[in-house]
Structure 1
């Protein structure tokens, strides 16, 4: 299947796919709190269509880790969605592989997600770097995963947050 960048015109189809792929309470999940009010990265978010029907989607979003002194830029991956009748066919793996290659090429040094470590571990995601991070909602600690580019380090502790929840920094005149 050929994947291409998701555009604004794909938004309604993406929402329908997410409704079909996930349970109705998906908007209450912690990952949605991190994405709320934030625009996804257009250059990383991909879709796949089959005979005009949207059958796969992956999205990436900016977020940050606040360590008490400064914000560290992170990229939140998700959701990854495949039409229910095509799950298990390799489309999810294709979405992950192609989009991660693009993220790496674009210099996204830290990518995080909330998902099954058994699945996402094959793409380099692990829970160890996020073990002491605070998150804006409930999460199984083993499912809060990070993938760090070689040589990238992050604080052991910090607060994971969306860019819309970051405090406004006021610059004072000298």
Structure 2
């Protein structure tokens, strides 16, 4: 039975934290604990993002199997800062996590697909993320630099990627500049 993808609810928060912590404990790269719990920093980041003005509840999704949360993706308001113009709205995806015992079964891909669909329905320009190009490239993500969008951290290189969106019949308008995530990401790094 495939996972059900739906918006997160307040009662999901403890399960989302557990899934995020478990996934990033086993990840090749994760942030050090940030809140005294011992959990990888990504678990705290999700909570900080929910409390931020950039939180978009319809773009915070869970994957559920048999009533249990097995995956989560949160997408928040980001911006493209370009010289001479007001910041342009965009989206920043992450963290995205799948419970370790459910990885490799298409749950992450389903969360990505649902995120893209929801963002397109909102009329968004693009979604940015930091992740493995081998995985995300298979799902339509491309190096951000190819589209003139600079990473907030040059060290991310090709791991900083975007998914251009065709929203309401129009494609990404070619806006270029430096991407800026929601404010809690600054606390994260």
CA deviation vs aligned residue, 1:13-33 (integer Å, no higher than 9, x gap): 2111111000362538xx98x
From 11, 14, 19, give the equivalent of 1:12: 14
CA deviation vs aligned residue, 1:28-79 (integer Å, no higher than 9, x gap): 8xx98x9584543211221122333211111110011111322011101122
Residue aligning to 2:28: none
From 40, 52, 65, give the equivalent of 2:80: 65
C-alpha spacing 1:37/1:130, structure 2 compared with 1 (3 Å) = farther
Q: How many residues align?
A: 160
Q: SS at the partner of 2:172?
A: coil
Q: SS at the partner of 2:56?
A: coil
The answer (yes or no) to whether the contact 1:130–1:145 under 8 Å persists in 2 is: no
- 2:56 aligned with 1:52, yes or no? no
The answer (yes or no) to whether the contact 2:15–2:69 under 8 Å persists in 1 is: yes
- The 2-side partners of 1:73 and 1:129 are apart by 19
- The 2-side partners of 1:164 and 1:92 are apart by 25
TM-score normalised to structure 1 length:
0.77
1:132 positional shift: 5.9
C-alpha spacing 1:63/1:132, structure 2 compared with 1 (3 Å) = closer
The answer (yes or no) to whether the contact 2:127–2:162 under 8 Å persists in 1 is: yes
> Hey, which bits of structure 1, 4+ residues long, moved more than 6 A?
none
CA deviation vs aligned residue, 1:80-121 (integer Å, no higher than 9, x gap): 211100101111111112221121122122111111111111
In structure 2, list runs of 5 or more residues that go unmatched.
26-30, 33-39, 185-189
C-alpha spacing 1:9/1:153, structure 2 compared with 1 (3 Å) = same
- The 1-side partners of 2:104 and 2:93 are apart by 20
The answer (yes or no) to whether the contact 1:3–1:95 under 8 Å persists in 2 is: yes
C-alpha spacing 1:130/1:13, structure 2 compared with 1 (3 Å) = farther
Residue aligning to 1:168: none
- The 2-side partners of 1:138 and 1:37 are apart by 25
In structure 1, list runs of 5 or more residues that go unmatched.
166-174
